[in-house]
A and B are shown apart, each in its own frame.
Chain A
Amino acid sequence: MHKMKERQPRWSLLQRRTSLVAALFVPIVLALVLPGCAVKFIGDYDETIDKGVTDVQQRAELYFSRLQSTPNTPYDQNFYDDMNSRLAVSKSRAASLPKYPIIVEQLANLKAQFDTFQKLDKSSPRPFPGVAVTDAESAIAVSVESILKLELALKRGAPPSTCDYPVVRLRL
């Protein structure tokens, strides 16, 4: 009797380990074999984010063109306020979508680029150097192209079927 009581904690530990292993591996195995399930590591294409980023680039291009053609154009706080609010909206949407951390980070990087250009614009005497506009424009274009390249790849051709994973509860 006394011995059985001593062995109980060991058995309980084994049970815990088994439960833990099952909790980790069962969803993976089920994802691979359940009818209609397709493996999915990253979220789906989102048209709102695609349009939002394209719109930001279009507005930025307008401002850059103005700075290039009229280098004495004064610093315009409204432009940066507009960019910040548009990017904040896109970032909030991306954060609410499942499996979207990569695009959330890309939008944060794009915003950081506008913040840096704002510092440059604010601190530079006029006429604003045209070459600086070209350099900034190129950096922002690379970021926008990167985001759009990934967004379009998320279309994936035929949409994969979704599946609901069974809830595996741990009893530790």
Chain B
Amino acid sequence: MTKPSNVIGRQTSKFITRQVKAIAITFLIFLMITSFHKINAVADAELIIRFRAYVHGVPLELNKQYKNPFGESFEISRFRFYASRIAPVYTDSNIKSDGRLVYHLIDFSDSVSTRLVLPVTSGLCTGIRFLLGVDSLDQIRGAQRGALDPARGMYWTWNGGYQSFKIEGYSSVSSQPAHIMAYHIGGYRHPFSTVWKIRINTTDDIAFRLTKENKITVEVPIELDYFFDGQTPLHIREISSCMTTGEMAWKISENFVGSFNGLTLSKNP
């Protein structure tokens, strides 16, 4: 199975030299001067996003048996990930859309958390972008609340930091006790950062217009076939768990990024 071409994942850069900083500051000043010409980004519309997980095109149900592309059976009991800075991708590049720095913990055992309503600027769009995981700066801000409350079960205590995502369950081919399958994927330090900037286009690049009246729900499908049969084939028999940072976690995170499929759109009544 090949990776869908409309998914672009890019690792956030951790290393900024002083020179780059100086250039960035100059550039920022330039931007500030020129930005008067830009369209004022007012949140006058709403974007509704629904994350949905699939296995081989069938909507995922927790605690139900499935088979991955390698014929290995598995079931998922926990599936969570962090998303932030969610923003539409506008056809008009003048519309700034960094997305608000709000962390959402998408948890498939809590359907409310999988549907987000975000205030955005109206305009013609072809996709969305967001940050998967928790940005390195927010990893070291100290005790936080809401989605980043360590009591939410996404914080690692021996290697301080938030996991980017967690897929946990059982598989008959797992050699772990009780056939546990556990991918607790985190790490924000260079070079094995599992924090990714993700941009997803609509299927066939169909543009959609966000206006005050035109409420659109964007469905973000996560196809778990690509999670297993991704850039690095993930055979449960060989790798039934990954709960530490490092190269393996980074590779698994790359597979996860690849499992975000093209957006589908639906109009809200």
Physical interaction between A and B: no
